[in-house]
Amino acid sequence: MKKIIIINGPNLNLLGKREPTIYGASTFEDYLKELKNKHVDIQLEYYQSNIEGEIIEKLHEVGFNFDGIILNAAAYTHTSVGIGDAVKGIETPVVEVHISNIHAREEFRHVSYIAPNAKGVIFGFGLQGYELAIQSFL
């Protein structure tokens, strides 16, 4: 059974409440239930933190024994050399995901410190981006 973890960064705990015109009206927990019901053949885990160092620690923890990591580092994508270095330092492939089209937003969001070391990047497809990332590991 494949082991895949979704790691979400800052403010993604507010999905369903925060800027629903950009991020939608569903909570991530509701969407995660749908993903788990659809993918009973994989072990799908979830982790969310608003703290950069905790995200790095989680990447270190799972980055050598999981089959895939789906990482939405949110705003840290554009600011955290540390998270980018953590992705570079682990063996498990990482797919970077963003709910919104980061290239249709502020210019600072066009830069990713994760993408150079990721298996791929998916953005602009809403929550469906997580499903697309799962498919990339199957």
From the candidates 31, 98, 113, 130, which is the catalytic residue? 98
What is the spatial order of strands in the sheet that 68-72 belongs to?
42-48, 2-8, 68-72, 94-98, 120-123
23 is catalytic: yes
The pLDDT tens digits of the residues spanning 30-66 come to 999 999 999 999 999 999 999 999 999 999 999 999 9
Q: What is the pLDDT of residue 112?
A: 92
Average pLDDT for 78-98:
97
pTM of the full structure: 0.93
Among this protein's residues, is 110 annotated catalytic?
A: no
- The structure tokens listed for 23 are 């991020």
- Write the secondary structure of 69-111 as one string of H (helix), E (strand) and C (coil): EEEECHHHHHCCHHHHHHHHHCCCCEEEEECCCHHHCCHHHHC
